[in-house]
Amino acid sequence: MKVKVGLGFDSHEFEEGKTLYLGGLKIDFPYGLRGHSDGDVLLHAVTDAILGALGEPDIGELFSDKDERWKGASSRLFLEEALRRVRDKGYEIFNLDCVLIADEPKVSPHKSAIKESLSKLLGIPSENISIKGKRREGFCEAKGMACMCVVLLGKLDEG
Ligand SMILES: [Zn+2]
């Protein structure tokens, strides 16, 4: 058995009137997250964790914010590319643990829907996914959201 662990972190500022996406799920909230793409902070952190576990270039190297192709792009595209690289190397995702850092929106009412969305996007059972919401408790100014996560990839040894 071979295993690889990856760490992902991302943060985005709020932008009024933009649609908020978390884990590929549309969340009803007056602010979205500023960014070149749809600003899905959770999918960006997950994508980077997967790419990091594989030792591949990170999300910023693969999908430059200077590249017009990714302007307003769905972050699902970035995740799909990372998943393609997982399959190419013969690995599968064992589990994923994420912390969403935000004072608002509250994560808890959306937790199970976000897990369900990630489960579909990643093709793994939702019991192998953990989403935790954390308030800042006074740390930094509340102008956006951040996310960190760890992912474990594994494969059986050949031969
Ligand atoms: Zn991002």
pLDDT tens digits for range 46-62: 999 999 999 999 999 99
Residue 32 Cα to ligand 1 midpoint, Å, equals: 12
Structure confidence at residue 159 (pLDDT): 56
- What whole-number distance in Å separates Cα of residue 59 and Cα of residue 114? 21
**Cβ neighbourhood burial of 123 (10 Å; 0-12, 13-18, 19+):** exposed
- What whole-number distance in Å separates Cα of residue 154 and Cα of residue 1? 7
pTM of the model: 0.95
Residue 38 Cα to ligand 1 midpoint, Å, equals: 9
Residue 63 Cα to ligand 1 midpoint, Å, equals: 11
Domains and CATH numbers, the chain: 2-155 (3.30.1330.50)
Residue 52 Cα to ligand 1 midpoint, Å, equals: 15
Residue 98 Cα to ligand 1 midpoint, Å, equals: 15
Q: Is it the case that residue 158 has pLDDT exceeding 90?
A: no
